[in-house]
Amino acid sequence: MREVDEEAENRAGPNMSKDAGHFTSRKLLQRVAAALFWPYLLVLTLLFVVKQPAHFWMRLCAVSWDTVGANVQFVPGRTILYYLTLQENYRTGFAQLGGNLLGFAPFGFLLPLFFRPARHAGHLAMLAFSCSLGFELLQYITNFGSFDVDDVILNTSGAVCGFFLLRWILKTGV
């Protein structure tokens, strides 16, 4: 049996083997995922932290220690519950909750494809938590938004959902 495998490898050439196609496609997938991830992270930063690029420098220069931390929410579930019970404008609640979940889903979908430590759900959750916490702290310090613990919860949950979607796709071959 080994002789047949060696013959096939010899016919295919020195750089090809029966696993070469798999290796190449895996490497290509890793490179594409990395190439998509970094612009995605930049856009995510702009959306979550900067929000209004035209006013970025004016607002950054206007930050004072008096205004830092004016908008904070540390009670888990408070904002989520508020948006879930927002009956007069359910679209706003749906957009806020869904935006946080969907905004971080690519984080959980792309990162494991090229960053080995993110291939475990717990590690990925910690990376997403850290990134989301970083965004919230930037909003807190720069006063470009409010620090909300529920945003961290939703963002981390969105990344974990993206991770399990990727795992399901890879497992089923969809």
DSSP per-residue letters across 102-163: HHHHHHHHHHHHH-GGGGSHHHHHHHHHHHHHHHHHHHHHHTSS-EEHHHHHHHHHHHHHHH
CA distance readout (Å), 14 to 10, 17, 18, 63, 75:
7, 8, 12, 62, 62
Locate the domains of the chain by residue range: 2-9+16-172
pLDDT above 60: residue 171: yes
Three-state SS at 98: helix
Q: Which positions ≥6 away from 110 have C-beta within 8 Å?
A: 33, 34, 36, 37, 40, 162
Q: Which positions ≥6 away from 23 have C-beta within 8 Å?
A: none
Give phi and psi for 85, each to the nearest 5: -105, 10
pLDDT digits (tens, 9 = 90+) for 143-153: 788 899 999 99
Q: Where are the beta strands (DSSP E) in 31-118?
A: 72-73
pLDDT digits (tens, 9 = 90+) for 55-95: 555 555 555 555 555 689 999 999 999 998 886 788 888 88
pLDDT score for 101? 96
User: What does DSSP assign to residue 70?
Assistant: S
Pick the residue with more confidence: 84 or 52? 84
What's the whole-number mean pLDDT along residues 122-134?
A: 98
CA distance 103 to 87: 24
Give the count of beta carbons closer than 10 Å to the beta carbon of residue 166: 21
Amino acid, res. 173: G
CA distance 135 to 5: 53
Q: What is the pTM of this model?
A: 0.78
